[in-house]
């Protein structure tokens, strides 16, 4: 029986079950039978949790308020004290707890903390929800080496705690991006770096099996051997009365664990030579948290019009398909796969992309590889995907208070060290001008500035591989795509056409990560719209590795090393251990992680430096994609903002690759502005 059903079962017999001042009260007590008393005693914890997570929780009177006369309180024989999972752990760690509900006591506690010899304090908050724009902060917890202070912000003014945040102490939280945004709203963000034991754990141990960060409970178990019960988090934190002891201890423990994890995790960082990547992550954290809070401007009305347009085109395409493919439902993967088997040339069926279960894929990407596919089918699949991914569901991400999209960015949130973006993923919008035009400042007099690194992955690959041909091209300002086109086509550099350069993009970006000719052929079509025969792909593969011998040797070294060592590192030292991954070691992953992960570290360094560089301007970071940073800027600051953004991004690259020589040609970073993301990119 689940907890809510359990509660209903008791109340069905005419009893009222309540929490009063942290006590479990059953009314009327006079009707309690011995069997019911035993039943409640056996299921006490479940009943308490059901109450804490329901709307029936009382406003928890102060300790001197009387218990109703007809109630059977906690301390009667009906039940034992409510289990407090956090208190024994706090005691085992040698911590006491101070729950503070008035400003004078809070001032004294702040003085005690500032007078402590400790430089690093644990920090945590409890909130009424996960939205830093709408939801309020209930309490702020700070832990030193023996005491956890729980400051109840329902009863204490936030300004009372300002001296603590500005008093020269450093703080560490678990998932500090979350804390930073709520603290910013309160005006309490620390002046010193806000450390993050979650990012320490991510750097030490990678990501969990679901591809996310390890939870505080997971990390506490792994590092400290402690089993943490997080059930109290689901209780009502915003009741007007004081917090119950279970909540106070739960809140205190989170701050204690945040700081207690630091020493063992930092020891692991040093042993694995990963202090530098952690420092890069933590230095960029305030910028990342700030632009998440700022949000990306988005034209909701224009988006609604675009959804209508996509819907009409999808209907038109489907009506045409009913004439072209009678009896075949284009939404049925089984029916469409059977139709493909009958319609495709025999050799195409053998090479057609397949699902994990061996069936023919029927999505737009798969269909794009067949030039004979009915254009109406391709159109229907494309518009259906746009509607399902970027239609009404996408609209739900527009915040009702700001009209902006506040996506979640996870620092080093992918196994290779890149950012992960979710709710929604703003790093891969469709390559449609009409969609990117929706990202535009809603305020008059503002523009977007967009700057990106030119071919940063190829540049980093050239540096890692020490490929002299590539390095010379970049240092001399030669367009590498034109160079590759010239080599693979056997024509002079100046004779390369636009289409040939486009094909060379597929060759360069595909082959640096170990793609084989069949993969290159499919990649060129799907990504760049380039028709390439298998013989063309084989010829390009051969000439590429003949020309870029350093890349070939890098691939050989990586493959040989992978037999014994299944770890790879970024430039700053972040480790990816493929032994811990379900797919195991793969050459493509072993090649792209040092490249893409190092590119992410360049971006981190730029994000760290930008706020100070932009100070004094009405200009701020609002978004970034892997090699691109976007600012929202007042028109009168656009020229200065572009210059600063370009300068900072170049400087960041030079700090990670100080002897690269890549910046001398002046083509590393390009900055443009416009009224929308699309216009600034064009």
Q: In the predicted model, is pLDDT for residue 350 greater than 90?
A: no
pLDDT interval class at 48 (50, 70, 90): low
The CATH 1.20.1060.10 domain(s) of the chain lie at 300-397
The CATH 3.30.420.10 domain(s) of the chain lie at 86-272
Alpha-carbon distance of 213 to 256, in angstroms, equals 19
Highest mean pLDDT among 67-81, 209-223, 353-367: 209-223
What average pLDDT score do residues 344-371 get?
A: 82
Domain 86-272, CATH among 3.50.50.60, 2.40.30.10, 3.30.420.10, 3.30.565.10 = 3.30.420.10
Q: In the predicted model, is pLDDT for residue 228 greater than 90?
A: yes
Residue 576: the pLDDT is 97
What average pLDDT score do residues 80-95 get?
A: 84
What average pLDDT score do residues 187-201 get?
A: 93
What average pLDDT score do residues 527-542 get?
A: 90
pLDDT interval class at 13 (50, 70, 90): low
Range with lowest mean pLDDT among 172-176, 302-306, 327-331: 327-331
% of residues, the chain, pLDDT over 70 = 89
What average pLDDT score do residues 48-61 get?
A: 46
Q: In the predicted model, is pLDDT for residue 34 greater than 80?
A: no
Using a 10 angstrom Cβ sphere, with 0-12 exposed, 13-18 middle and 19 or more buried, the burial of residue 342 is: exposed
Q: In the predicted model, is pLDDT for residue 2 greater than 80?
A: no
- Report pTM: 0.85
Measured in whole angstroms, how far is the alpha carbon of residue 561 from the centre of its chain?
Answer: 31
Residue 516: the pLDDT is 93
Range with lowest mean pLDDT among 273-287, 359-373, 475-489, 525-539: 359-373
Residue 67: the pLDDT is 35
Residue 585: the pLDDT is 95
% of residues, the chain, pLDDT over 90 = 74
Q: In the predicted model, is pLDDT for residue 313 greater than 90?
A: yes
Residue 15: the pLDDT is 73
Residue 76: the pLDDT is 31
Pairing mode of beta strands 170-173, 194-196:
parallel
Residue 71: the pLDDT is 38
214 close to 196: Cβ distance less than 8 angstroms: no
Residue 77: the pLDDT is 34
What average pLDDT score do residues 551-571 get?
A: 96
pLDDT interval class at 367 (50, 70, 90): confident
70 close to 122: Cβ distance less than 8 angstroms: no
User: Which one has a higher pLDDT value, 68 or 193?
Assistant: 193
152 close to 242: Cβ distance less than 8 angstroms: yes
User: Which one has a higher pLDDT value, 31 or 112?
Assistant: 112
Six-digit token string for 619: 């200009």
Residue 23: the pLDDT is 54
459 close to 650: Cβ distance less than 8 angstroms: no
| DSSP string over 485-509 | HHHHHT--GGG--HHHHHHHHHHHH
The CATH 3.30.70.370 domain(s) of the chain lie at 420-455+596-681
What average pLDDT score do residues 55-79 get?
A: 34
* Domain made up of 300-397: CATH architecture: Up-down Bundle (1.20)
Residue 21: the pLDDT is 45
The domain over range 420-455+596-681 is classified in CATH as 3.40.50.11810: no
Distances 372 to 344, 491, 499, 652 between C-alpha atoms, Å: 8, 31, 21, 47
Beta bridge partners of 170: 120
Using a 10 angstrom Cβ sphere, with 0-12 exposed, 13-18 middle and 19 or more buried, the burial of residue 470 is: buried
User: Which one has a higher pLDDT value, 58 or 475?
Assistant: 475
Task: Read off the pLDDT of residues 149-186 as tens digits, 9 standing for 90 and up.
Answer: 999 999 999 999 999 999 999 999 999 999 999 999 99
Residues with Cβ < 8 Å from 107, sequence gap 6 or more?
Answer: 160
What average pLDDT score do residues 421-438 get?
A: 94
Residue 355: the pLDDT is 87
What is the residue-averaged pLDDT of the chain? 89
Q: In the predicted model, is pLDDT for residue 7 greater than 70?
A: no
172 close to 381: Cβ distance less than 8 angstroms: no
What average pLDDT score do residues 240-247 get?
A: 93
Task: Read off the pLDDT of residues 484-527 as tens digits, 9 standing for 90 and up.
Answer: 999 999 999 999 999 999 999 999 999 999 999 998 988 888 78
Task: Read off the pLDDT of residues 618-654 as tens digits, 9 standing for 90 and up.
Answer: 999 999 999 999 999 999 999 999 999 999 999 999 9
Nearest to 503 by CA among 489, 516, 518, 517: 489
Six-digit token string for 386: 């746009």
Residues with Cβ < 8 Å from 639, sequence gap 6 or more?
Answer: none
User: Which one has a higher pLDDT value, 359 or 86?
Assistant: 86
What average pLDDT score do residues 538-552 get?
A: 96
Residue 631: the pLDDT is 98
User: Which one has a higher pLDDT value, 663 or 668?
Assistant: 668
Residue 22: the pLDDT is 47
What average pLDDT score do residues 660-673 get?
A: 90
What average pLDDT score do residues 440-450 get?
A: 97
The residue behind tokens 């502005």 is 673
What average pLDDT score do residues 391-414 get?
A: 96
Residue 50: the pLDDT is 62
pLDDT interval class at 264 (50, 70, 90): very high
| DSSP string over 540-575 | HHHHHHHH-HHHHHHHHHHHHHHTT--EEE-TT--E
294-304 burial code (b ≥16 CB/10 A, e <16): bbbbbbeeebe
What average pLDDT score do residues 349-375 get?
A: 83
């Amino acid at each position: 029986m689940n907890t809510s059903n359990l509660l209903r079962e008791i109340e069905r017999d005419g009893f009222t079950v309540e929490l009063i001042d942290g006590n479990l009260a059953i009314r009327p007590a006079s009707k309690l039978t011995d069997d019911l008393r035993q039943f409640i005693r056996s299921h006490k914890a479940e009943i308490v949790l059901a109450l804490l997570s329901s709307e029936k929780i009382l406003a928890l009177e102060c300790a001197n308020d009387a218990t109703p006369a007809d109630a059977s309180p906690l301390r009667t024989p009906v039940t034992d004290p409510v289990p407090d999972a956090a208190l024994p752990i706090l005691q085992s760690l040698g911590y006491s707890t101070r729950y503070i509900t008035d400003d004078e006591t809070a001032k004294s506690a702040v003085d005690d903390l500032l007078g402590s010899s400790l430089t690093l304090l644990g920090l945590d908050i409890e909130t009424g929800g996960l939205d830093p724009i709408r939801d309020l902060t209930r309490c702020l917890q700070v832990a030193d080496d023996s005491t956890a202070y729980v400051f109840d912000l329902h009863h204490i003014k936030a300004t009372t705690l300002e001296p603590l945040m500005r008093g020269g102490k450093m703080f560490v939280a678990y998932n500090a991006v979350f804390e930073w945004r709520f603290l910013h709203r309160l005006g309490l963000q620390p002046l010193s770096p806000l450390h993050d034991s979650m990012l320490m754990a991510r750097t030490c141990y990678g990501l969990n099996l679901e591809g996310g960060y390890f939870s505080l409970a997971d990390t506490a178990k792994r590092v400290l051997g402690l089993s943490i019960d997080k059930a109290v988090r689901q209780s009502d934190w915003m009741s007007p009365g004081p917090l119950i002891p279970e909540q106070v201890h739960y809140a205190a423990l989170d701050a204690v664990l945040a700081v207690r994890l630091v020493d063992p995790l930092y020891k692991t960082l040093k042993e694995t030579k990963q202090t530098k990547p952690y420092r890069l992550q933590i230095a960029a954290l305030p910028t990342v948290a700030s632009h998440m809070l700022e949000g990306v401007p988005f034209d909701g009305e224009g988006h609604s019009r675009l959804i209508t347009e996509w819907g009409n085109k999808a209907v038109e395409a489907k009506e045409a398909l009913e004439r072209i493919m009678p009896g075949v439902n284009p939404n049925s993967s089984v029916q469409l796969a059977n139709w493909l088997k009958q319609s495709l040339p025999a050799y195409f069926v053998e090479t057609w992309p397949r699902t994990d279960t061996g069936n023919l894929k029927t999505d737009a990407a798969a269909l794009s590889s067949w030039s004979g596919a009915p254009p109406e089918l391709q159109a229907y699949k494309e518009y259906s995907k746009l509607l399902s991914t970027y239609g009404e569901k996408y609209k739900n991400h527009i915040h009702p208070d700001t009209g902006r999209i506040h996506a979640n960015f996870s620092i080093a949130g992918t196994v290779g060290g890149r950012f992960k973006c979710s709710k929604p993923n703003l790093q891969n919008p469709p390559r449609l001008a009409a969609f990117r035009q929706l990202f535009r400042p809603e305020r008059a007099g503002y523009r977007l500035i967009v700057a990106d690194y030119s071919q940063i992955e190829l540049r980093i690959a050239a540096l890692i591989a020490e490929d002299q041909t590539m390095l010379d091209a970049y240092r001399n300002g030669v367009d590498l795509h034109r160079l590759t086109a010239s080599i693979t086509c056997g024509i002079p550099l100046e004779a390369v056409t636009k289409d040939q350069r486009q094909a060379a993009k597929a060759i360069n970006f595909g082959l640096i990560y170990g793609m084989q000719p069949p993969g290159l052929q499919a990649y060129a079509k799907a990504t760049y719209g380039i028709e390439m025969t298998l013989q063309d792909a084989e010829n390009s593969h051969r000439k590429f590795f003949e020309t870029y011998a350093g890349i070939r040797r890098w691939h050989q070294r990586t493959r040989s090393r992978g037999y014994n060592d299944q770890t790879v590192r970024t430039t700053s030292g972040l480790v990816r251990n493929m032994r811990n991954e379900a797919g195991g070691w793969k050459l493509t992953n072993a090649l792209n992680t040092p490249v893409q992960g190092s590119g992410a570290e360049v971006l981190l360094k730029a994000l760290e430096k930008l706020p100070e560089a932009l100070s004094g301007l009405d200009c701020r970071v609002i978004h970034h994609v892997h090699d691109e940073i976007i600012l929202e800027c007042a028109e009168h600051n656009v020229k200065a903002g572009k210059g600063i953004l370009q300068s900072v991004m170049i400087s960041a690259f030079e700090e990670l690759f100080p002897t690269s020589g890549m910046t001398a040609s002046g083509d590393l970073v390009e900055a443009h502005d416009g009224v929308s993301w699309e216009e600034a990119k064009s």
